[in-house]
């Protein structure tokens, strides 16, 4: 098992803020909109440095999505920022008609996704956003795993022409990917080559997959670990090649099982290469208040759950 280390734990939303700040300096067409959550989204540096290109919309997310769509007419590249729940479910029809169907170059940037939002509870813990967004034709869906990757993804999506959903979170997590990484939309990242099983993980579950890989190695199980930062378009080649090699698969994500990463991979494998698969995800349930760690444990999204899923899927091989 390849050794991964980190010097610092950082929140992915700060990676977004850092990426946006850099874009502010490098790309004069980038504009940012926020619905009264500038601090939470770490957009304050951009707002301070480029007040003429920052739009404080107020608590009116539907209006924010519409204004963002309009700003693309005239060549701007708008980045909207609010919590994941208010970035998707709250404004689904606005995104569908004014952004996706209209083919507008809007970047919907969503923080506090999933259970790790913590104490605010289920009203805010959206676990359906990846599914909602990936169903929209033409929408790119990205869920990076740490600070560095979120920063790189933020910068990369500015040069992609078309609508993008970028999902990140609130808690600090190990910042282990290279600061100078090149982020390629739709390209899976091989973290560990293995032979017995493949773990496909996204977002906060990527580090947990690495922890699980270490525990599995101690048990003599060789796990291939792949970071799927882009849910859509899915890196079909990477998924199929790895499944061909290991012949069993575990997926891991902070999302409902319905509509998430596991669902996309199962769909692909069912069509191309039927393979036993287990999914670490929330199983048709809302979240609740608690600390992020408590919630990840209670809802079965820890390294130990990935290890369990691997042991289960190995028996089905």
Partner 1 sequence: MASTAELERIVSQVRRDIVRQVHAVNSGHPGGSLGCAEYFVSLYFEIMKHNPSNFTMDGKNEDLFFLSNGHISPVFYSVLARSGYFPVAELATFRKLNSRLQGHPTTHEGLPGVRVASGSLGQGMSVAIGAALAKKLNKDTSIVYTLHGDGELQEGQIWEAAMYASAKKVDNLISTVDMNGQQIDGSTDQVLPMGSLRAKFEAFGWDVMDLEKGNEMGSVVATLKKAKEHTGKGKPVMILMKTEMGNGVDFMMGSHKWHGVAPNDEQLAQALNQNAETLGDY
Question: Cβ 131 to partner 1, closest distance in Å?
Answer: 21
**Which parts of 258-317 interact with partner 1 (CB under 8 A)?**
none
What's the closest the beta carbon of residue 234 comes to partner 1, in angstroms? 24
Residue 74 beta carbon to partner 1: minimum distance, rounded to whole angstroms = 3
Q: Of the candidates 158, 177, 150, 142, which has an alpha carbon nearest to the alpha carbon of residue 17?
A: 150
The structure tokens listed for 51 are 């007040």
Distance CA 313, CA 221 (A): 12
Given a contact cutoff of 8 angstroms between Cβ atoms, the answer to whether 155 and 99 are in contact is no
- The crossing angle, in degrees rounded to 10, of helices 236-246 and 261-272 is 70
- Give the 3-state secondary structure of residue 86: helix
Task: Tell me the C-alpha distance between 63 and 66, whole Å.
Answer: 5
Helices 12-26, 147-158: crossing angle, 10 deg rounding:
40
Residue closer to partner 1 by CB (options 34, 210) is: 34
Stretch that binds partner 1, among 81-89, 95-103, 115-123, 293-301 (CB under 8 A): 95-103
Comparison of 102 and 219: residue with beta carbon closer to partner 1: 102
Residues assigned a catalytic role: 61
Residues 11-70 that bind partner 1 (CB under 8 A): 31, 52-53, 55, 57-58, 60, 62-70
Please tell me the distance from the alpha carbon of residue 249 to that of residue 224, in angstroms, as a whole number: 9
Residue 91 C-beta: closest distance to partner 1, Å = 9
Token pair for residue 289? 């208040």
User: Which of these segments, 10-18, 73-81, 198-206, 247-255, binds partner 1 (CB under 8 A)?
Assistant: 73-81
* d(C-alpha 238, C-alpha 25), whole Å: 35
Cβ neighbours of residue 240 closer than 8 Å, sequence gap 6 or more: 268, 269, 272, 273
Give dist(CA 69, CA 88) in Å, integer: 15
Interacting span for partner 1 (CB under 8 A) from 74-82, 114-122, 170-178, 220-228 = 74-82
Q: In this structure, what is the dihedral angle of CA atoms 129, 131, 136, 140, given to the nearest 10 degrees?
A: 80
3-class DSSP string for 225-236 = EEECCEEECCCH
In the bound complex, what is the minimum distance in angstroms from residue 313's beta carbon to partner 1?
42
Write down the least CB distance from residue 78 to partner 1, Å.
8
The mark string for 98-127 relative to partner 1 (x by CB under 8 A, - otherwise) is: x--xxxx-----------------------
Please tell me the distance from the alpha carbon of residue 147 to that of residue 128, in angstroms, as a whole number: 23
Which residues contact partner 1 (rule: CB under 8 A)?
Answer: 31, 52-53, 55, 57-58, 60, 62-76, 78, 93-94, 96-98, 101-104
């Amino acid at each position: 098992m390849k050794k991964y280390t980190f010097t610092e734990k950082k929140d992915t939303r700060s990676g977004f803020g850092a990426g946006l700040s850099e874009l502010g300096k490098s790309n004069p067409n980038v504009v940012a909109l926020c619905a009264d959550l500038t601090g939470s989204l770490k957009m304050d540096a951009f707002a301070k440095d480029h007040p003429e290109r920052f739009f404080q919309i107020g608590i009116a997310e539907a209006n924010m999505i519409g204004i963002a769509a309009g700003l693309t007419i005239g060549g701007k590249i708008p980045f909207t920022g609010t919590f994941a729940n208010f970035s998707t479910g709250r404004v689904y029809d606005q995104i569908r008609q004014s952004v996706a169907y209209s083919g507008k170059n809007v970047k919907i940037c969503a923080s506090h996704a999933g259970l790790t939002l913590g104490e605010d509870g289920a009203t805010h813990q959206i676990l359906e956003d990846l599914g909602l967004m990936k169903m929209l034709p033409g929408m790119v869906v990205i869920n990076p795993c740490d600070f560095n990757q979120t920063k790189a993804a933020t910068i990369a999506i500015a040069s992609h022409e078309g609508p993008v959903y970028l999902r990140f979170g609130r808690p600090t997590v190990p910042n282990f990917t290279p600061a100078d990484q090149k982020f390629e939309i739709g390209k899976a990242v091989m973290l560990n080559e293995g032979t017995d099983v493949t773990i496909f993980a996204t977002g906060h579950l990527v580090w947990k997959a690495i922890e699980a890989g270490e525990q599995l190695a101690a048990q003599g199980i060789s796990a291939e670990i792949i970071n799927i930062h882009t849910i859509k378009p899915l890196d079909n080649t990477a998924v199929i090649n790895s499944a061909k090699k290991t012949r069993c698969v575990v997926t891991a994500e902070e999302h409902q099982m319905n509509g998430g990463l596991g669902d996309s991979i199962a769909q692909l494998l069912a069509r191309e290469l039927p393979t036993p698969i287990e999914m670490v995800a929330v199983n048709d349930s809302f979240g609740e208040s608690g600390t992020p760690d408590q919630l990840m444990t209670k809802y079965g999204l820890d390294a130990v759950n990935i290890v369990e899923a691997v042991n289960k899927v190995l028996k089905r091989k």
